[in-house]
Structure 1
Amino acid sequence: MRRIILSTESGADLPNDLAEKYNVQVVPMHIIMDGKDYLDGSLPVQDIYDYYERTKKIPSTTATNAHEYQEFFASIREKFPDCIIIHIGYTSKASSSFQNAVIAAEELEDIYLIDALNVTGGLAGIVLYAAEVLEKEPDMEAERFVEKVEAIVPKARLAFIPGSLEFLKAGGRVSNMASLIGSLLKIKPCIELKDGKLISTKKYRGKMISSTEKLLRDYFNGFNIDRERLYFIYSIGLDERIKQRMDEIAKENGFQNIRWIQAGGMISTHSGAGGFGVAGLEQ
């Protein structure tokens, strides 16, 4: 059987050790800061926050373009001749990256594109599910494999509290952001992925440690998450006490295998320092 190679974008925040373990190929998105274009992952996330502290300007982000995708897919084929590429992409509802991948793949054979309709840990959860399926059944036919992954896409659930509403506002990716204006200093919104779109759903009041606890309990009450998979996402600056408390609550709810994922440059530029999120797959 021909080998299947998985790929995704840097906006999945897939930890390096897991990308290496499952041989997932990752294409970088872009961060624009001080007029310069940086590939996501090429600069420390702390530089983004330091830049904001110095200038009070928030960097912007751009998608991987079609030419970059062409080169990316070509490099995969060069490393793995005669492989089948299955690309699991960042939600098309918040970035043009997936559409650019579609354009790049038009003249290629044996490549499948899956719109994960998710970002960061939600996207990573889908990619890792796919990797585990492939590890168990490496000879699975590509069409059947794609069907299994596409079936799990609607079951991926992501919710997070951004570290900075200024960053969230500047990013402009939250569909109902206008509903938050006027209350930016009083609330901590819960942002969820709904049909691939970032939507503000709940609003928590109080300190971050109490808001994250409310978020996590609401998440567990709202979704029947598979106890085998749970991902916590954090951006630099999240209080260690919050991390400890989130672990405690997760274990109280039957989760033993918990993976913390640090938000990379792409996601951190939209969430700000000290953000927290949770992702998993519904049963």
Structure 2
Amino acid sequence: MRKIGFVVDSTFGYKGNEDVSIVPLKVIINGYEYVEGEFSNEIVVNTMKEKRDVKTSQPAPSMFVDAFEKQFSNGYDYVICLTISSALSGTINGANVAKGILENENIFIIDTKTASVGSDYILEEALKLANKGMEVNEVIDHINEIITKGSLIFSVDDLSTLVKNGRLGKVSALIGSILKIKPILRFKEGVLTVEAKVRGLMAVFKYIKEQVVSLISDSDVIVRITYVDNIEYAKTLEETINNINNGKVNVQIKGILSPVISAHVGLGGMGIYLVTK
């Protein structure tokens, strides 16, 4: 039996081992709170299509306290808590408060500095090492190594959501709407930047394929794809990357972005996590 238990927040979209404790965030629509993991992403998508406001809220510290206590009650000596990047959400603050309440130095809280499929990949790799019986400090070192190597690329159809959330200037949105220019945003180690602006969806696919090719060397390249509401975009991108066909690229579509992240990315959004292994 492994010595390390894990706690994550619901934005990871983790669908694996039920023994991992998941602390949910919430989506608020018309004053009603929806608990992530307990409702369909279509509710958020339809709300955005109707151009109505969607708000999100982070978990209370008490929810992390319960999650930590559950992991210790399961017999684990240590608990690693992984959260969505602190640059995107204050979720990690609740985890830190909870650790202070419990006054337990065997709780380790780590900002993944990424989100969604990026955070989920970090968790999956950490679980593999923990299941092999690796010590907690070794697992943490490996997590930190992945954080420095990986990055998350976002592409969107509708720029208005990014503007409303303060991610893009109104001038950028206006240019995009007139010229059909799509921004490509890179989120790496907690920093979000507009890396490129390309014209048309096929140019987005071409750009991301080039990024994958640039990572190929002696290491395998991991590509994880997620999307808000258009699986055809994700399938086309998957096919484009598979056409590299050199045996060193592992690409998977991991499903729909969590409702909380979808609300911030906007319609037509895709997330692509890239990391070398």
When the two structures are superposed, what TM-score results if normalisation uses the length of structure 2? 0.87
Tell me how far 1:167 sits from its aligned partner. Answer: 2.1
Q: For residue 191 of structure 1, what is the aligned residue in structure 2?
A: 185
* Cα distance change on mapping 1:215 and 1:267 into 2, 3 Å: farther
Deviation at 1:12, TM superposition (A): 1.7
CA 1:5–1:51: 2 relative to 1, 3 Å: same
Q: Could you tell me how far 1:120 is from its partner in structure 2?
A: 1.0
Q: Equivalent of 2:66, from 63, 68, 71?
A: 71
The 3 A distance-change label for structure 1 pair 279 and 27 is same
Matched, 1:45 2:38: no
Q: Do the aligned residues in 1 keep the contact of 2:228 with 2:266 (CA within 8 Å)?
A: yes
Deviation at 1:124, TM superposition (A): 1.4
- The CA RMSD over aligned residues, in Å, is 2.4
Q: Which of 138, 141, 149 is residue 144 of structure 1 equivalent to?
A: 138
Moved more, 88-97 or 252-261: 252-261
Give the secondary structure class of the aligned counterpart of 2:174: coil
Contact 1:216 1:246 in 2 (8 A): no
Give the Cα–Cα distance (whole angstroms) in 2 for the partners of residues 144 and 249 of structure 1.
33
| AA of the residue aligned to 1:168 | L
Task: Tell me if 1:101 matches 2:95.
Answer: yes
Letter in 1 for 2:54: P
> Which residue pairs with 2:126 in the alignment?
130
For 1:152 and 1:245, the matched residues in 2 are separated by 23
Q: CA offsets per residue over residues 174-224 of structure 1, 9 Å max, x none?
A: 3x5456243241321111113302222111112x2x033123223214434
Q: Which amino acid aligns with 1:238?
A: I
- Compared with structure 1, are the counterparts of its residues 60 and 255 closer, same or farther at alpha carbon in structure 2 (3 Å cutoff)? farther
Matched, 1:266 2:260: yes
Partner of 2:244 in structure 1? 252
User: For residues 99-140 of structure 1, what are the alpha-carbon distances to aligned partners after superposition, in whole Å with 9 as ceiling and x for unaligned?
Assistant: 2211111222411111110011111121122122223x22x2
Structure-2 change in CA distance of 1:63 and 1:197 (3 Å): farther
Structure 2 counterpart of 1:125, one-letter code: Y
Give the 5 Å matches for 1:227-238.
Answer: 227=220, 229-238=222-231
Shift of 1:245: 4.6
Show the counterpart of 2:32: 36
Aligned residues of 2:3 and 2:130 also touching (Cα < 8 A): no
Give the structure 1 partner of residue 174 of structure 2.
182
| Runs of 5+ unmatched residues, structure 2 | none
Q: Does 1:13 align with 2:7?
A: no
* Alpha-carbon separation, structure 1, partners of 2:38 and 2:157: 22
1:110-125 alignment runs, 5 A limit:
110-125=106-121
Of 186, 208, 211, which residue of structure 1 is paired with 2:203? 211
SS at match of 2:88: coil
Matched, 1:154 2:148: yes
Deviations 1:141-173 (CA, angstroms, capped at 9, x unpaired): 21222122112211112112024212222333x
Verify the 8 A CA contact 2:238 2:253 in the aligned structure 1. Answer: no
AA partner of residue 127 (structure 1): L
Letter in 1 for 2:57: T
Of all paired residues, the percent bearing the same amino acid is 23
What TM-score comes out, normalization by structure 1 length? 0.85
**Which residue matches 1:58?**
53
Contact 1:177 1:200 in 2 (8 A): no
CA distance in 1, matches of 2:153, 2:221: 18
